[in-house]
Amino acid sequence: MVKINKKVKDFDILLTGNKSAKLSDYLNNYLILYFYPKASTPGCTTESCEFSERFPQFSQLNANILGVSTDSLKRQENFKT
């Protein structure tokens, strides 16, 4: 479990678009991780669209947004579009 104000170990992140990153790649910016249970469901779609609509505001704050789910990368790629 991650505790508030405690550092976490660096880990690899698989991204859509055949990309990957490390948590440490985001050290100089804010990182928003939002978790959703399943792509393409009404609630998850609404949540993701709200982040997308506010993306310009988050960008001004040097914030990156990553959505996390247990779906396959292919399903997440489809959900992203």
| Catalytic residue chosen out of the listed positions 36, 39, 44, 79 | 44
Residue 7 has what pLDDT?
Answer: 85
Question: How far apart (Å, rounded) are the C-alpha atoms in residues 57 and 17?
Answer: 24
pTM of structure:
0.74
Q: What is the DSSP letter of 70?
A: S
Residue 62 has what pLDDT?
Answer: 93
The answer to whether residues 23 and 8 touch, using CB atoms and an 8 Å cutoff, is yes
Question: How far apart (Å, rounded) are the C-alpha atoms in residues 26 and 49?
Answer: 22
Size of the chain in residues: 81
Does 81 score more than 70 pLDDT?
A: no
User: Domain spans of the chain?
Assistant: 32-80
Q: Is 72 helix (H, G, I), strand (E, B) or coil?
A: coil
pLDDT in tens, 8-49: 899 998 888 889 999 999 988 999 988 888 777 777 778 888
Closest CA to 77 of 15, 20, 25, 1: 15
Residue 49 a catalytic site member? no
pLDDT in tens, 53-72: 999 999 999 999 988 888 88
